[in-house]
Structure 1
Amino acid sequence: MYELVFWKYLEGIYLNHHEVYETILEEPEVIEGLEELPVQVILNRVSSVFSKWEKVDDSSWKNNTGVGAFHIRTTSHSIKIDCYGTEGKTMDKLVNIMEEFKCPLYDPQIPERYDEMSE
């Protein structure tokens, strides 16, 4: 499994990314300093981009013509996507969708956040 995690800071706020990530895992609804996300709009956008994939349930998609599947876990302030055997180009599509909503990727495997504040 490969995790992709997204959130957006409130204007002028910049926190420790790894601490934010750990808080999302432990207490997902208690994060000060993060902007509320249009979760349903984001999920609708994912459904649209991945319309050829089988939608297993409200938050899981499976590629019936190739490899990969992913599950999206949302809170009002974050989106966590668990990718299972998913190709890089598919993960890039997910990252691009989130960039449309100005939510940069945090990659906990590295760990690194890809936003304008990163050097």
Structure 2
Amino acid sequence: MYELVFWRYAEEVYLNHQLVYEALDEGENVEGLEQLPTDIILNRINSVFSKWERVDENSWKNSDGPGAFCVKSTPQSVIVECYGTQGKTMDKLVDIMEEFKCPLYDPQVPERYDEMSEK
């Protein structure tokens, strides 16, 4: 399993990404993060992956090849668990979350890919 994690900091807030990830992973509310429109995000993911088989409310499976993913959300985060998912599919998920101004945090590396990390 490969995990993609997304959240959005409030204005002028920038925290330790690993600590934020660990708190979100435990289901905690993190002061300094914005609330996300998770229903709208799930609808967007569903429309982009409309050719994929929707296994349940939060899971999709590629009918034409390898890969499946499950979306877990809290009011402040979206965590996508990818199973055998190809890079281009993960890139699509990252692009969707960029539309909502939520850059990728990759806990495997660990690194957050946002404008602050490029400075």
1:14-63 residue CA offsets vs partner (Å, 9 max, x unmatched): 0000000000111x242111000010000000000000000000000000
Q: State the partner residue of 1:16.
A: 16
What TM-score, normalized to structure 1?
0.97
2:87 is aligned with 1:91: no
**Unpaired stretches in structure 2, ≥5 consecutive residues:** none
Matches within 5 A, 1:101-116: 101-116=100-115
2:34 partner letter: E
Q: 8 Å contact 1:29–1:77 — kept in the other structure?
A: no
RMSD: 0.6
Report SS of the residue matched to 1:70: strand
> What CA distance in whole angstroms lies between the structure 2 residues aligned with 1:21 and 1:54?
29
**Unpaired stretches in structure 1, ≥5 consecutive residues:** none
1:49-92 residue CA offsets vs partner (Å, 9 max, x unmatched): 00000000000000011100000000000000000000000000
> What CA distance in whole angstroms lies between the structure 2 residues aligned with 1:60 and 1:19?
27
CA apart distance, 1:108: 0.3
Matches within 5 A, 1:44-63: 44-63=43-62
The count of residues paired between Structure 1 and Structure 2 equals 118
> What CA distance in whole angstroms lies between the structure 2 residues aligned with 1:55 and 1:75?
20
Q: 8 Å contact 2:29–2:76 — kept in the other structure?
A: no
Q: State the partner residue of 2:41.
A: 42
